[in-house]
Structure 1
């Protein structure tokens, strides 16, 4: 297990290097001059060139890239061209709201998807099964921004139950923290819950009539125990993979949802930085998101060995 973990961690290096190249090229080849945006339309060409030299934007792209990589290897993501703050400090200051939103969304996904899938398998071969498939397809197909606007109009304007903007840290009260994040978290969860529930239901249906389940029933074990101890546990492997991709989907979805609900997280930071052409922050945020995605995939792979004793990493 340790050797496999070390190999996987080493394999992260070329992946992150390729991601850094793609991010750097996309950011720097996009039209827009940060120096011009900072100084404004009335600035002279001399002042723009002076600020570009000060920010290092006058250097060739290859030199800028390798300077950026060299700083990353020392733990330095650079400084914001807009506020001159360290990028790592800016990301750390915005990660709390994003992590809170992802945590609540993931809990909602698990609390809704797992019981629903188990109940549908228990009531298999009834009218509930095609109804579940239809609802899950609708949930996966609904655009997040459209569903968010419906919830804002319904539960924020017409029936003002939940706040539609702002963020309250958990230190100021768990209830207020949950109250302000429930609506955006529900939007994120609604897109992913259908996928997780559908995968768990399909995995359980594949196991429900296997030889070991028939043997368990022949021994007099009740159907509920068969579903939970034998069928559900064997369906966890593919479901865990989907949950891992769900975490990445939730992180990507925060870019839209945080902007719509005015949550000062990583997603809103990325959108604001794109508008300001804040190259170091954009590069740092995308690299940070890619790192989390790779780390989640690694944790999911390691979790397989705990879920299924037959899996060994030698």
Structure 2
């Protein structure tokens, strides 16, 4: 059982982390070359027009005033309106529209990696130096080495162009229309933006199947890399655990090999693997740019790259801080899982 004090302590530690990220993002953006006001009004605008926009945006204020204003707004999750990418649209609305797309992609990709990576890692460790072990290790090394910008088009070419099994892009077919709300006990609630979940909430099984069919290839591309890393870590951790004294003691007492490995070895071997899973999920959130580009999925990764190029300060700041918040929450989940797997960690 995880203690409330342990969770509260971890939550309090999130505050300085988010403060540090906010400060770093603000400093980098304001030290980088480029004038947002000039980008907004265009290169042919007069100096007076540029100065007027700078005054309206508060860019002429002293840097410390801009910084304090940014911290106050960030604490309320208010980052203003987008300068360029979604001109005039509040940043929180842009994030609410784009973020679920990337979260869905990262979640399913990570789920694929966990469901395949952990069993393969355990199997490889149990059958060390066998043909199964060698094949698993080669497959994992291949999965880590192959870049997404190569594996993505290759899978599209094979499964979409030649075999015609999966669609090449998008999240759902054009023939399906999803409303903006769904009804729960007569109450109209907004949809989540995670399309597979939304189709289930609406009770549209056909749309769910179509969405899952569209997302299979991009999630597979992300999941291959995740699976390879998890399986390698699981194998190394399992091999280390099975050599421990308590495993030898369990065997000496006559306990069956499967029970010994799965009851005593597997749980302890999971601790470093959970760390990798947590780090990988944060990486998938920020690194889904290539996958979203290759498969034509309008997630937050591509939007962030475009916002950086356009000096869209509010959108960049809001996106990076949202990523930081999600990553810290994932790490909180990792810490809680640690304490469940090994209660001594709480002490």
Partner of 1:123: 127
Partner of 2:148: 144
Matches within 5 A, 1:97-116: 97-116=101-120
Equivalent pair of 1:156/1:164 in contact (CA under 8 Å): yes
Higher deviation after alignment, 99-108 or 157-166:
157-166
Equivalent pair of 1:166/1:261 in contact (CA under 8 Å): yes
Q: 1:213 to 1:253 in 2, by over 3 A?
A: same
- How far did 1:109 drift? 0.5
> Does residue 258 of the first structure (1) align with residue 292 of the second (2)?
yes
> Does residue 270 of the first structure (1) align with residue 272 of the second (2)?
no
Equivalent pair of 2:339/2:345 in contact (CA under 8 Å): yes
Matches within 5 A, 1:231-242: 231-242=265-276
- How far did 1:163 drift? 2.1
Partner of 2:186: none
Q: Deviations over 1:135-170 (max 9, x none)?
A: 322322222222223223333334333223222322
Equivalent pair of 1:213/1:226 in contact (CA under 8 Å): yes
Higher deviation after alignment, 36-45 or 196-205:
36-45
Within the candidate set 2, 5, 14, 2:4 is matched to 2
Within the candidate set 63, 66, 81, 2:65 is matched to 63
Equivalent pair of 2:110/2:223 in contact (CA under 8 Å): yes
Matches within 5 A, 1:196-211: 196-211=230-245
Q: Deviations over 1:91-115 (max 9, x none)?
A: 1111221121111111100111012
Q: Deviations over 1:47-76 (max 9, x none)?
A: 222222222223333322221112122332
Partner of 1:195: 229
Higher deviation after alignment, 253-262 or 214-223:
214-223
Within the candidate set 327, 339, 344, 1:293 is matched to 327
Structure 2: how far apart are the matches of 1:166 and 1:186?
15
RMSD across aligned C-alpha pairs, in angstroms?
A: 2.1
Higher deviation after alignment, 27-36 or 290-299:
27-36
Partner of 2:182: none
Give the secondary-structure state (helix, strand or coil) at the position aligned to 1:81. Answer: coil
Matches within 5 A, 1:19-58: 19-58=21-60
Structure 1: how far apart are the matches of 2:10 and 2:257?
40
Structure 2: how far apart are the matches of 1:32 and 1:158?
46
Structure 1: how far apart are the matches of 2:100 and 2:77?
20
Partner of 2:341: 307
Q: Structure 1: which 5+ runs fail to align?
A: none
Structure 1: how far apart are the matches of 2:63 and 2:161?
49
Structure 2: how far apart are the matches of 1:132 and 1:31?
48
Q: How many residues align?
A: 313
Partner of 2:78: 76
Higher deviation after alignment, 42-51 or 241-250:
42-51
Give the secondary-structure state (helix, strand or coil) at the position aligned to 1:310. Answer: helix
Equivalent pair of 2:113/2:225 in contact (CA under 8 Å): no
If the length of structure 1 is used for normalisation, what is the TM-score?
A: 0.91
Partner of 1:164: 168
> Does residue 177 of the first structure (1) align with residue 179 of the second (2)?
no
Q: 1:279 to 1:237 in 2, by over 3 A?
A: same
Q: 1:309 to 1:3 in 2, by over 3 A?
A: closer
Structure 1's consecutive aligned runs of 4 or more residues displaced over 6 angstroms after TM superposition are none
Equivalent pair of 1:262/1:268 in contact (CA under 8 Å): no
Equivalent pair of 1:68/1:78 in contact (CA under 8 Å): no
Structure 1: how far apart are the matches of 2:316 and 2:77?
16
If the length of structure 2 is used for normalisation, what is the TM-score?
A: 0.83
Higher deviation after alignment, 62-71 or 169-178:
169-178
Equivalent pair of 2:109/2:226 in contact (CA under 8 Å): no
Q: Deviations over 1:154-188 (max 9, x none)?
A: 33334333223222322342212211111111111
